[in-house]
Structure 1
Amino acid sequence: METNSLLFLRAVQLAVIAAYELVGKNDKNMLDQKAVDIINKLLTNNDVNAKIAIGEGELDAAPMLYQGQTFSHQQAITFDIAVDPIEGTAPASKNEPGSISCIAIAKIDTMLQIPEMYMEKLFLSEDLGATIDFSQPIEKILLTLLNIKQNLSCIILNKPRHQAIIKTMQALGIHVELINGGDVLGAIDVVLKKADFLYGIGGAPEGVLMGALAIATKYKMFARLIAIAYEQVWPDESETKDRIKIEQQALARKKISYDTIFSERDLVADEEAMFFAASLMGGTVLKPLQIIDHEYVVHSFIGYNNIYHQIISKYPITNNVQDLLNKYSK
């Protein structure tokens, strides 16, 4: 898989460059589509011999980067891809911090394929995670962590569903770093030592990306799927009524339940998993995409084999991102 590493790095970097023109334009769907188009073209133009395990959705909901889509030039599929073309489309569309493009790769059929549903997640170092029993209430887990290390800090999404646990953490003396979106980006920040752990309820597909990140950087992750009243979360979404049925069918196929506890290796069963991210709006340890001296300056992150790299890349500004795609497609 190492031979493909530069390709996937370029994919996330060109994705944020493509999305950059939509920053602050209040059109999160088109911003996401710009990134989807670039990644899809780059993977299609190259002999990556891969399939999408985690992507934009099923075929009927996403014409590109959908779960099950393959990229192969008549050769055997050899690995899985999990991709979030832009995590944090809403903040990026509002010109606010907190968005990246990210891709993880692993050996074929090693990524847990799950639909878009909610997942409770805990992401932390191996030292902190060594004695965690995720079947316990989170309040007891927090006390366990405090017994291991004082002056703890946590990254958590600033959502109504988290307000009670945020108050509990603060009462225990845990420093809370609130983010408005992007728990994959939050997990990267944990790896980069901005906080000791990340906790909260977020997207399950993003949980697979975080699982790959944990394996790639020698971190720990615990997770379980959560049933949510979707009519309260997404009251105006046309597919809200069908979501519970879709979830139940997926759980039955995978022979898992809401009580199933996952580790990072349950989410991605490959010790050689690789993780790539490029920052669009930053706001964390990774700086935002910038234009300096007629160049795009992109800040990126790669994790592989228990090592991570922070990379600064510079691309020439062109009138059309397609020109960059053509130039750097191989």
Structure 2
Amino acid sequence: MSTQEWAPATVSRRPDQALALELVRVTEAAAIAAGCRDVLRRPASPRTAAAVALHDHLASVLMRGTVVVGEGEKDVTPILFRGAEVGFGDGPECDVALSVGDGALSAVKDVTRSLSAIAVAERGALYEPPPDAVMEKLAVGADCAGVVDITRPVAENVRAVAEIKDVRVSDVVVAVLNRSRHRQLAQEIHDAGARVHLLEGGEIAGAIAAARPESAIDLLLGTGGAAEGVIAAAALSCLGGALQTRLESEGADKVFHVGDLVRSEHVLFCATGVTTNELLRGVQYHAGRSTTQSMVLSSKPDTVRVVKSEHRFA
């Protein structure tokens, strides 16, 4: 056999599908830790437990990652802070954006429709939002990408979506975070004749669902964290969906699109349901085992995987 045939495989210099499948283990571990029902014996909050699990499992992932969207700044969180290095220390250099629980996980009350998520792209590709920045968002699928505009009134965008989908305005479903700040927005949607779908736990799942043809959600509107906007943009860049955003601190004129938030053609996204949401089923517990459902997205090659895993406890 020739020397060439025996040569070891080279490590990819860009995020690829092999890396994406490694990342599934990471989001699964975070979701299981966050969703653990043994609250009384758990030493940390669900969010902290999820962050620790995510951090520990990232250590074995073959990449040289730098956190650009994480759990906060270095002076307020010990792990997964902005600028933290994650990964095994070999493999492609990557930007990493993560959410250990899209929604305010509580130690005493489950938050519905939450997930753990991680996005990876080439180094320097992901937009780094200002700390604690608030971002206005509009998300749709590829079919409606060219007809909506975040600067237009809600009613105009709703009518444009209805026309493209060839449905009545009253059949258009708009996802909105269930927050008091969105009361006026919800009223505008109702006044436009469309239906409101309230997101309890978080907006990442809602934004991705708006880009999935089998989803009941047609459009996502509202304000939320800029960090979640970057993660959603990574997912939508793999799906061909559209995301338009505006940072409140930068005024209403500057509109960011997916290409502004994710400047790469090599993007990976993985998410695992903590509790059942618009995108994925949450962690299910059984005697001696648990099951998880995850979504794995890759931009090159363009693939969408939904992974169901069974985890047996020792």
Common topology (TM > 0.5): yes
Q: What's the CA shift string for 1:70-112, capped at 9, x where partnerless?
A: 1366658611110011212336751241211000000110000
SS in 1 for 2:209: helix
The aligned counterpart of 1:116 is 132
Structure 1 pair 223–86 and aligned structure 2 pair: CA distance change class (3 A): same
What is the aligned counterpart of 2:306 among 294, 304, 310?
Answer: 310
Map 1:190-201 → 2, pairs under 5 A:
190=210, 191=212, 192-201=214-223
Structure 1 pair 23–137 and aligned structure 2 pair: CA distance change class (3 A): farther
Alignment partners' CA distance in 2, 1:58 and 1:258: 26
RMSD: 2.4
SS in 1 for 2:238: helix
The aligned counterpart of 1:288 is 282
Q: CA deviation at 1:62?
A: 1.5
C-alpha contact (below 8 Å) 2:114/2:202 kept by paired residues: yes
What is the aligned counterpart of 2:76 among 61, 75, 81?
Answer: 61
Structure 1 pair 277–159 and aligned structure 2 pair: CA distance change class (3 A): same
Map 1:23-42 → 2, pairs under 5 A:
30-42=45-57
Deviates more, 1:93-102 or 1:68-77: 68-77
SS in 2 for 1:262: coil
Percent identity of the aligned residues?
Answer: 25
The aligned counterpart of 2:158 is 142
Q: CA deviation at 1:24?
A: 6.5
SS in 2 for 1:215: helix
The aligned counterpart of 2:236 is 214
What is the aligned counterpart of 1:301 among 295, 298, 303?
Answer: 295
Q: CA deviation at 1:64?
A: 0.6
Structure 1: 5+ residue runs without aligned partners? 228-255, 319-330
C-alpha contact (below 8 Å) 1:103/1:277 kept by paired residues: yes
SS in 2 for 1:86: coil
Q: CA deviation at 1:4?
A: 1.3
Q: CA deviation at 1:285?
A: 4.3
| Corresponding letter in the other structure for 2:247 | L
| Corresponding letter in the other structure for 1:278 | T
Structure 1 pair 74–36 and aligned structure 2 pair: CA distance change class (3 A): closer
Structure 1 pair 87–276 and aligned structure 2 pair: CA distance change class (3 A): same
Determine whether 1:272 maps to 2:292.
no
Q: CA deviation at 1:118?
A: 0.7
Alignment partners' CA distance in 2, 1:13 and 1:283: 15
The aligned counterpart of 2:178 is 158
Structure 1 pair 23–219 and aligned structure 2 pair: CA distance change class (3 A): farther
What TM-score do the two structures reach when normalised by structure 2?
0.84
C-alpha contact (below 8 Å) 1:120/1:225 kept by paired residues: yes
Q: What's the CA shift string for 1:135-180, capped at 9, x where partnerless?
A: 3333433333333333211111111221112122122221211112
Alignment partners' CA distance in 2, 1:24 and 1:76: 37
Deviates more, 1:187-196 or 1:72-81: 72-81
The number of residues matched between the two structures is 289
| Corresponding letter in the other structure for 1:31 | P
Runs of 4+ that moved beyond 6 A: none
SS in 2 for 1:90: coil
Alignment partners' CA distance in 2, 1:300 and 1:78: 24
What is the aligned counterpart of 2:146 among 130, 133, 140?
Answer: 130
What TM-score do the two structures reach when normalised by structure 1?
0.80
Q: CA deviation at 1:133?
A: 3.0
C-alpha contact (below 8 Å) 1:91/1:99 kept by paired residues: no
SS in 1 for 2:100: strand
SS in 2 for 1:170: helix
| Corresponding letter in the other structure for 1:17 | I
